[in-house]
Amino acid sequence: MYPEMPKMITPMMNNTDDAADNANLHLTAAFLADYASLLLGCGATCIRTEKNTRRMAGALGYGFDITILPTHVYVWIWRADVARRYMAVRKTAACGISFHLNALLSRLSWEVADNHLDFPTAVRRFKSICDTPPTGKLEVLLLTSLANASFCRLFGGDVIAMLIVFFSTLLGYKLKQIMLEEGCDVRFTFLCASFFSATFSAGGHIFGIGNTPEIALGTSVLYLIPGVPYMNAVSDVLYRHYLCAFSRFIDAAILTACLSAGLCAGMLILGMKWF
């Protein structure tokens, strides 16, 4: 799930005089690249990734630079007294958004900077963070369903609409969990989950249950809106990381298009006159 360490390191200018020093630079570059890759993958903004990694490199006694691209991260480190630079490149970790990991990794960077953790301890802490389990699936399923039902209420839905939204979210989100576990494409998963939720909640519209069936139908797919990538995109724009901002925005827009398509397909199959 998370990157293993260390992997590929490319020495830019090779000097074999000091093998131990070279090895340290190799390992540190690999560690920092893995750290940055995981932090980006778990949904941190570019500015946070840059600041945290720079903080750790500084505390470990190295000069540092980073290039963040939409799917890769390049880390460069060097010693002030030696004209040698080392680069490590990693693909952004595909671990899904996790604020828990984000918080733990940010804390690790401060521990390295403030408590002067030595390199092996920092690596050990990092590996234990990589093994952090995600929130329980049942807990997420129930909380998300409750959240979407509350969302329906905020938009003016009645109690029956809230119940419809609760169950349609429960079914749609469960389908999303199963499909992602099976390794299905995330866009196809969003389309299917949206279709499933919309079809279920359209029952209120078709059978005339409750006074606000259109709100139930409209709200039933909103749990799929990728809010975090949209907000990260704006944050990246503010800090002039335009490439990553654009990439995050397009990713989120494609997922939004998929959930809209699922909603429309549900309407079409049920023979509803669109809306």
Three-class DSSP category at 63: strand
Taking the complex as a whole, the smallest distance from the CB of residue 244 to another protein amounts, in Å, to 15
Contact 222, 158 (CB under 8 A): no
Non-local CB neighbours of 46 within 8 Å, separated by 6+ positions? 40, 68, 235, 236, 239, 241, 244
CB closer to another protein out of 24 and 220: 220
CB closer to another protein out of 21 and 214: 214
Q: Other C-beta atoms within 10 Å of 205: how many?
A: 18
Task: In whole angstroms, give the CA distance from residue 83 to residue 68.
Answer: 24
CB closer to another protein out of 38 and 44: 44
- Point out which residues bind another protein (CB under 8 A): 43-45, 48, 51, 96-103, 106-107, 109-110, 114, 134-135, 139-140, 143-148, 150-151, 153-155, 215, 218-219, 222-223, 225, 227-228, 230-231, 234-235, 238, 260, 263-264, 274-275
H helices of the chain, in order, are: 19-41, 46-59, 99-114, 119-130, 137-154, 159-181, 186-206, 213-219, 227-238, 242-269
Take residue 110 and report the two structure tokens written for it: 């401060």
CB closer to another protein out of 28 and 98: 98
Take residue 166 and report the two structure tokens written for it: 């609760």
Taking the complex as a whole, the smallest distance from the CB of residue 119 to another protein amounts, in Å, to 20
CB closer to another protein out of 76 and 173: 173
Contact 204, 213 (CB under 8 A): yes
Taking the complex as a whole, the smallest distance from the CB of residue 270 to another protein amounts, in Å, to 14
CB closer to another protein out of 153 and 187: 153
Take residue 24 and report the two structure tokens written for it: 């340290």
Residue 205 amino acid letter: H
Taking the complex as a whole, the smallest distance from the CB of residue 81 to another protein amounts, in Å, to 29
Take residue 88 and report the two structure tokens written for it: 């490590």
CB closer to another protein out of 78 and 200: 200
Taking the complex as a whole, the smallest distance from the CB of residue 153 to another protein amounts, in Å, to 5
Taking the complex as a whole, the smallest distance from the CB of residue 258 to another protein amounts, in Å, to 13
Taking the complex as a whole, the smallest distance from the CB of residue 37 to another protein amounts, in Å, to 17
